[in-house]
Amino acid sequence: MKRLALIAPALLLSCATSGPAAPPAHGSISNLSVAKAGDRFCEHKVPEASCVQCHAELAPKFQAVGDWCGEHATPESQCLICHPDLSFAPLPEVPAGADVKRVSLQGEDVASLGEHAVPGKVTLFDFYADWCAPCRKVDEHVYGLLGRRSDLAVRKLNVVSWETPLAKRHLSDVKSLPYIVVHGRDGKEVGKLGGLDLPALDRLIDQAAQR
Ligand SMILES: [Zn+2]
Ligand SMILES: [Zn+2]
């Protein structure tokens, strides 16, 4: 820090008049690295077709959407150093006829969850990201429940990254995804659950169904 303070004034002077601003150290994770069915994975454990270490010419495509880890010179969505639990698998399919809606597609803010609670049903507000592997376990579990009971509604909120307006409003105290907020049949919040804990989720759903 000390050294930085000493050189900073000189840097500021020279940067003020010439040269582009330094790129940010970290970007946000886009869905550009999500694998399609049948995709092959390369030695970098990334879908080969989108791997920037295999195809350096793809880098600008990722940089253009801000999906770039400056620290490790790789897309944020492929940086297993910054995100060891990255997943490239497509998200599980929603069962036909299930009450599942997407409330935030790309991290846009949702001021009030209560407005989106479905009267007479238990509503799960599922905060997830495309890169979140444990979120897929929640999907598999919850989609199974949706096939068996009709008093359940799921509202999905794509956090995208920790920097989006959605994350800033709802996840400021949340350490890891998945993050699920459960509302009862009366529309009121029953509880919140951070991290993967399916038995706890089942208990919350049961509690919410009593209300
Ligand atoms: Zn590769
Ligand atoms: Zn990184």
Q: What is the distance in A from the centroid of ligand 2 to the CA of 164?
A: 18
CB 87 within 8 A of CB 34: no
Return the structure tokens found at 35.
């694998």
Q: Is the pTM of this model over 0.85?
A: no
Cβ contacts of residue 191 below 8 Å, gap of 6+?
181, 182, 204, 207, 208
Q: What pLDDT is recorded for position 209? A: 95
Which ligand has the shortest distance to the CA of 68? 2
In this structure, which topology does domain 100-209 adopt according to CATH?
Glutaredoxin (3.40.30)
Provide Rg for the chain, Cα atoms: 21
Q: What pLDDT is recorded for position 21? A: 52
pLDDT tens track for 32-91: 888 877 889 999 989 999 999 999 999 999 999 888 999 999 998 899 998 877 878 776
Domain boundaries of the chain, sorted by first residue? 22-86, 100-209
Q: What is the distance in A from the centroid of ligand 2 to the CA of 182?
A: 33
Low-confidence ranges of the chain (pLDDT < 70): 1-24, 91
Q: What is the distance in A from the centroid of ligand 1 to the CA of 55?
A: 7
Return the structure tokens found at 76.
């944020």
Q: How far apart are CA 183 and CA 121, in angstroms?
A: 8
